[in-house]
Amino acid sequence: MNIIVAVDQNWAIGNKGDLLVRIPNDHKHFREETTGRVVVLGRKTLETFPQGMPLKNRTNIILTHDPKYQVKDALIAHSVEELMERLREYDDQDIYIIGGDSVYRQLLPYCNVAHVTKIDHAYEADAFFPNLDQDPDWEITADSDEQTYFDIAYQFLRYERKNR
């Protein structure tokens, strides 16, 4: 499985329920990676989307503990075990974990590839992604040239789990 995330210098991913920054090229990268694939996200992340609706042209699976939660055009899983059972129907390479922080933490152990947009700035934040640079199980296997959006420098990195 894949994880896709944008992080700042401190591996922060959000603040007060929102992204740290919106970079159009990062959104384009996200669309290119996930369109036509399966995305797994938490309820709170879904609620930050326009009208709280699932992403178009993708199979959306929402992970929530709320047994009554339903949303049009999405599948629901109430536990990691139930989610993993549902994901057996799909090719492992077509599954992308897209957040938020608790979903990332729960599902990172199941992932072999992380698509990370690393932003060269430190933002005020209250949500974080595990620092893969400090995790000996992960290594960078591809990187883009540094890009800029106004005064924000960033780059796309691909991390892969070692020995899998």
User: Which whole number is the average pLDDT over 19-41?
Assistant: 97
Hey, what are 129's tokens?
């992604």
Which domains occur in the chain, in start order?
2-161 (3.40.430.10)
Under the banding of pLDDT at 50, 70 and 90, the label for residue 163 is confident
Share of the chain above pLDDT 90, in %: 96
User: Which whole number is the average pLDDT over 58-79?
Assistant: 96
Cβ atoms of residues 111 and 152 within 8 Å: no
Q: Is the pLDDT of residue 102 over 90?
A: yes
Query: What is the DSSP-derived secondary structure letter of residue 94?
Result: G
Under the banding of pLDDT at 50, 70 and 90, the label for residue 50 is confident
pTM for the structure as a whole: 0.96
Task: Look over the chain and give the mean of its residue pLDDT values, rounded to a whole number.
Answer: 96
End-to-end CA distance of the chain: 12
Task: Please give the Cα distance from 83 to 162 (Å, whole number).
Answer: 24
Cβ atoms of residues 57 and 35 within 8 Å: yes
Cβ atoms of residues 2 and 114 within 8 Å: yes
